[in-house]
Amino acid sequence: RKEVEQDPGPFNVPEGATVAFNCTYSNSASQSFFWYRQDCRKEPKLLMSVYSSGNEDGRFTAQLNRASQYISLLIRDSKLSDSATYLCVVNFYSTLTFGKGTMLLVSP
Amino acid sequence: DAGVIQSPRHEVTEMGQEVTLRCKPISGHDYLFWYRQTMMRGLELLIYFNNNVPIDDSGMPEDRFSAKMPNASFSTLKIQPSEPRDSAVYFCASSSGQGAHLSYNEQFFGPGTRLTVL
């Protein structure tokens, strides 16, 4: 079983749509969780941390379910500029494990 | 402020040649990470340093790979001899550790080195 699993997509959505990505992880002792964004041929950049209580940053909402070892990211009112690959990231004692990413394509 | 700097940005070499990738972390960051990204395997941690000391090199694929950090502002990843399967994008990242709270500190990635081994 892979440590961090994501649907690779691509998810094709029109501008203004709401889209959700999911991720599962295998290490129940994982300590912290993140979503990174990676544009084509660029480096990954932190999008947001993920907390059990759920957290929101503008149009982005992240949620963690430790019992199910499941992480989600919701993007509302999609913009063309949201087109990218979204990487689910799990931390265990300073070692980050990345999912392979979910590609999002937002069209006009 | 300058971010993480990597050089070269692109490297094309022939099988059997030595390849050296370079990284300058963000000033003041005491953790440095080397990653490799391929379509098949995604982003994988190769090795990381804390205060210039290698902490975990379990991700280094084999003895052909070596990494050094002679000082706080410079690290190298060397492949000798290189093989076609080493073709990938190699990222360096740095972060400011806070001991037990390292897990919450953002890692900042450099632009990567795109390596092609023919």
**How far is B91 from chain A, CA to nearest CA, in Å?**
8
As a whole number, mean pLDDT of residues A76-103 equals 93
Top residue of A40, A64, A94, A95 to mutate, by most chain B CBs within 10 Å, is A94
Query: What per-residue confidence (pLDDT) applies to A15?
Result: 98
Contacts with B111 from chain A: Cβ below 8 Å: 42-43
Over residues B82-118, the pLDDT tens digits come to 999 999 999 999 998 754 444 567 889 999 999 999 9
CB A33 within 8 A of CB A71: yes
Q: Residue A43: which of B33, B42, B109 has the nearest Cβ?
A: B109
Query: What per-residue confidence (pLDDT) applies to A14?
Result: 97
Query: What per-residue confidence (pLDDT) applies to B103?
Result: 52
Over residues A40-88, the pLDDT tens digits come to 999 999 999 898 888 899 999 999 999 999 999 999 999 999 999 999 9
What is the overall mean pLDDT for chain B? 92
Contacts with A42 from chain B: Cβ below 8 Å: 111
Percent over 70 (pLDDT), chain A: 98
Binary contact (B103, A93; C-beta < 8 A):
yes
Top residue of B53, B103, B108 to mutate, by most chain A CBs within 10 Å, is B103
Over residues B42-86, the pLDDT tens digits come to 999 999 999 999 999 999 988 999 999 999 999 999 999 999 999
Q: Residue A43: which of B31, B42, B110 has the nearest Cβ?
A: B110
All residues at 6 or more sequence positions from A58 whose CB lies less than 8 Å from its CB, including other chains? none
Query: What per-residue confidence (pLDDT) applies to A70?
Result: 93
Q: Residue B107: which of A92, A93, A96 has the nearest Cβ?
A: A96
As a whole number, mean pLDDT of residues B5-29 equals 97
As a whole number, mean pLDDT of residues B3-24 equals 97
Q: Residue B43: which of A31, A44, A49 has the nearest Cβ?
A: A44
As a whole number, mean pLDDT of residues A1-19 equals 92
Q: What are phi and psi of B32, to 5 degrees?
A: -135, 135
CB A62 within 8 A of CB A73: yes
